[in-house]
Each structure stands twice: as structure tokens, then as C-alpha cells.
Amino acid sequence: MNLLLFASNEIKSDGTVCLQGRRSTHILKVLGCNTGDIIRAGMINGPAGIGEILAIRGKGKNAEVVLRFAATDNQPEPPAVDLILGLVRPIMLKRVLAQVTSLGVGRIFLINGTKVEKSFFNASLLKDGNYRSYLVQGLEQAKDTRLPQVAIHKRFKPFIEDFIPTISGDYQRMLVAHPDGSADLKQALGSNFKGRTLFAVGPEGGWIDFEVEKFVEHSFVPVSLGRRILRTDTAVVALLAQLMLLQGE
């Protein structure tokens, strides 16, 4: 946890924030903080800054840390990359959400596909925003405060045929990962590495030919990471890392 995060509704009328559970344990056990110490803190979807520890109440798992937050930095700009992800099993999705948030994505579209297990959409992880904690973990690691937006689309064709045209104008380029892609990432970007990018990465079984064809029909360029077939969680990280390197971030 490189940045302690809290929600705006956790700020009390006197300007203090009371932290319990995982966050207070980290402050007391991992950081070894005491009253009067200063820690890095930030408001989710708000500014980053510092938190002064005003009081420590209780002990062990029931300990509560009271701090006063002072903003020192403006909220960062939204990441220039959004991600379309063929829905994967929940245990992998937890890792992917934390990892891609750490690397920096603005929006995450979880979509259906022929090789997506339909029961995944009924997972408790996707209900009532239960995935939010994994996004927060990614922000804590990266010292960021801007939470990615997550949207769930249960039908592939309406997503690609109806929804994609409504957002395609937001992007300089749209790419779909596929082992048989005709270009690598550097070739697909050409000489212009700037602007917004929309990446589509398939589920654990990959995209079928029909799905790749539909992406191409809607101006996506197929890109390959080479001859090795990667797991979805590995491919997402590899693609985002390559893009960051090429864009000089």
C-alpha cells in the first residue's frame, strides 16, 4: 500500500477520517506509525496529499486511526488507455483488475464471447460493485486516486455493433489482441504514439474468428505479441506495458 485511500463520504464534519480494518492495520503494523506521524494519503477520485495521525484508539484488529487529510496534489489526468476484456473466471479477474488499475486504465468493459463461461456473469464479484476493492488495491500500489470505470456487457453483438460506434470517436486507435494478428504493437501504432487507445483482449479461450472479424469491421487492428500463446492475465499486462514503453510513460 503506497498510498492510503479513503472515500469522500468518510470525511467527517470536523475534517477528520477514521480508519479501521485493513487500513489501520497497515498504518500500525506495516508502517509502524504513531500519533503525530505523517503518511501519504489520497481521496478516491480526488486529490492526493498527506494525512497527519491525530489519534490511535484501541488495539489489534479493532484499532482505529484518526487522521486529518491535507491535499497537496491535483487529481491526475485520466489514463489514455481503456480496456475491453472478455470475461474471465473470477479468481483471475481479481488479479487482472488490480494489475491493470496499477498500470493505468480509464475504463474497463467486461464483455461476453463464445468462449466465455456464461456463469461468470453471475459471480458475486460482479454484484453490487464487489470488484471495487481490487481496483482500490491497484490504485494503492500505483499511488493513484482515479478509480477506473467498469461496465458489464452480457451480449457480444450489441456491444460491438451498437455500443462501439458510440465511443469509437474517443480513440486515436483501437486494437484487438490475437495470436494471428498481422502486426505487432509498434507496427500498429506507427509513428504516432500519442492519443487514446482502446485495447480488446480475449477471454481465457481467446476470441473466435467471427469475433475478430467483427472487431476488424469496426476499425480494430489485430495485434500479436508473438508466437507464444499467453494467458489472459499475462497478455493484458504485457500489452499495457509495451504501450507504456512505446509512449514513453
Buried b (16+ CB within 10 A) or exposed e, 164-189: beeeeeebebbbbbbbebeeebeebb
C-beta separation of 113 from 202 below 8 A: yes
Instruction: Report the candidate in 71, 34, 31, 32 with the shortest Cα–Cα distance to residue 51.
Output: 71
Q: How far apart are CA 103 and CA 99, in angstroms?
A: 6
Domain locations in the chain?
A: 4-73, 81-247
Q: What is the pLDDT of residues 168-203, one digit of tens each?
A: 999 999 999 988 777 777 777 777 777 899 999 999
**Sheet containing 173-177, strands listed edge to edge, beginning at the edge strand earlier in sequence:** 149-153, 107-111, 81-86, 197-201, 173-177, 221-223
Q: Which fold has domain 4-73?
A: Ribosomal Protein L25; Chain P (2.40.240)
**Is it the case that residue 13 has pLDDT exceeding 90?**
no
Instruction: Please tell me the distance from the alpha carbon of residue 210 to that of residue 79, in angstroms, as a whole number.
Output: 30
Minimum mean pLDDT range among 12-21, 105-114, 116-125, 156-165: 12-21
Domain 81-247 top-level CATH class: alpha beta
Q: Do domains 4-73 and 81-247 have the same CATH topology?
A: no
| 3-class SS of residue 191 | coil
Question: Which amino acid is it at 31?
Answer: L
Tell me the C-alpha distance between 232 and 244, whole Å.
Answer: 18
pLDDT at 226: 77
> Are 159 and 153 within 8 A, CB to CB?
yes
31's grid cell = 508502517
* Cα distance between residue 163 and residue 214, in whole Å: 13
